[in-house]
Chain A
Amino acid sequence: MNKNYPFATVLAATTSLRNKTGSWRTMCPHYVNLMPPCNAVCPAGENVQQWLSFAQKGHFRQAWNVIVQNNPFPAIMGRICYHTCEKVCNRLHLDEAVNINLLERAIGDIAISHGWKFESVIPATGKKVLIVGSGPSGLAASYFLRKLGHEVEIKEAHALVGGMMRYGVPRFRLPDSIIDAEIRRITDLGVKISCNSRVGNLKSEMNKFDAIYLSIGASKPTKPDVEVRPGSTIIDAVDLFKRLTNEQSHSSVELGKRVAVYGGGNTAIDAARMALRLGAEKVNIIYRRTLNSMPAHEMEIHEALSEGIKILCLRTIKSVDHKEILMEKMNYDEESGILTKSGEEETVTADSVIFAIGQFVDDSIIKNIDGIAMADGGIIGVNECMMTGARGIFAGGDAISAKRTATIAIAHGKKSAHYIDAYLSGKEVEQKQKPDIVNFKKLNTNYYPKIPRINLLPAASISLEERTVALTEKEIIVESSRCLSCGNCFHCYNCYGYCPENAIKKLPDGSLEVDLNYCKGCGICAVECPCGAIKMMQEK
Chain B
Amino acid sequence: MSYPTIGGPAAEKKNTNVAHDVCVQSQIDRRNTITSGHRACQGCGEALAARCVLDAAYSATNGNIVVVNATGCLEVFSCVYPENAWNIPWLHSLFANAPSVASGVAAAMHVSGKSTRVIAQGGDGATTDIGMGALSGMFDRNDDVLYVCYDNQAYMNTGVQRSSSTPPMARTATTFPVGSYLGNDAKSGKNLPEIAIAHNIPYVATASVAHVTDLEQKVMAAIHIRGARYIHVHVPCPLGWGIKTSETIKIARLAIDCGLFPLFEVVNGAMTTSFTIENLVPVEEYLKPQRRFAHLFGKNAVPDAIAHIQKLADENIKRYKLLGENAHE
Residues of A within 8 A of B (CB): 11-21, 24, 446-450, 491-494, 496-503, 506, 508, 515, 517-518, 520-524, 526-528, 530, 536
Contact = CB atoms under 8 A, between A and B. Distances in A.
Interface stretch (B38-46, B123-131, B135-143, B193-201): B38-46
A524 B38 contact: no
Taking chain B's interface residues, is the majority helix, strand, or loop, or is none over half, making it mixed? loop
B83 A528 contact: no
Contact of B7 (A17, A491, A517, A526): A491
A309 B238 CA distance: 62
Given A16-B35, A524-B43, A536-B246, A497 B2 contact: no
Residue among A492, A522, A527 facing the most chain B CB atoms (10 A cut-off): A522
Nearest to B44: A500
22 contacts: A13-B84, A14-B83, A16-B78, A16-B84, A19-B83, A449-B2, A493-B7, A494-B5, A498-B249, A499-B48, A500-B43, A500-B47, A501-B36, A502-B36, A518-B36, A522-B43, A522-B44, A522-B248, A523-B246, A524-B43, A524-B249, A536-B246
A51 to B, nearest CB: 21
B48 A18 contact: no
Interface string B23-42: 10110100010011111101
B212 interface: yes
A494 B244 contact: no
A499 B8 CA distance: 17
Taking chain A's interface residues, is the majority helix, strand, or loop, or is none over half, making it mixed? loop
A16 B84 CA distance: 5
A528 B81 CA distance: 33
Contacts of B83: 14-16, 18-19
Q: How large is the interface on B (under 10, 10 to 19, 20 to 34, 35 or more residues)?
A: 35 or more
A12 B79 CA distance: 13
A497 B35 contact: no
Interface string B1-13: 0111111100000
A439 to B, nearest CB: 19
A21 B35 CA distance: 12
Given A447-B5, A497-B26, A530-B5, A16 B246 contact: no
B85 A523 contact: no
Contact of B82 (A12, A491, A497): A12
A494 B245 contact: no
Given A497-B212, A503-B36, A523 B245 contact: yes
Residue among A11, A16, A21, A520 facing the most chain B CB atoms (10 A cut-off): A16
A519 B128 CA distance: 32
Given A446-B3, A522-B246, A14 B82 contact: yes
A90 B105 CA distance: 54
B246 A19 contact: no
A518 B37 contact: yes
> Can you list the 9 inter-chain pairs with the closest CB atoms, starting with the nearest?
A523-B246, A497-B6, A493-B7, A16-B37, A492-B5, A497-B25, A522-B43, A518-B36, A16-B85
B171 interface: no
A24 B28 contact: no
B6 A494 contact: yes
Contacts of A494: 5-7
A498 B2 CA distance: 17
A70 B48 CA distance: 44
Contacts of B85: 15-16
Contacts of B45: 500
Contacts of B3: 446-447
A12 B2 CA distance: 48
A527 B26 contact: no
B248 A524 contact: yes
B87 to A, nearest CB: 8
Nearest to B212: A497
Given A15-B37, A17-B35, A497 B249 contact: no
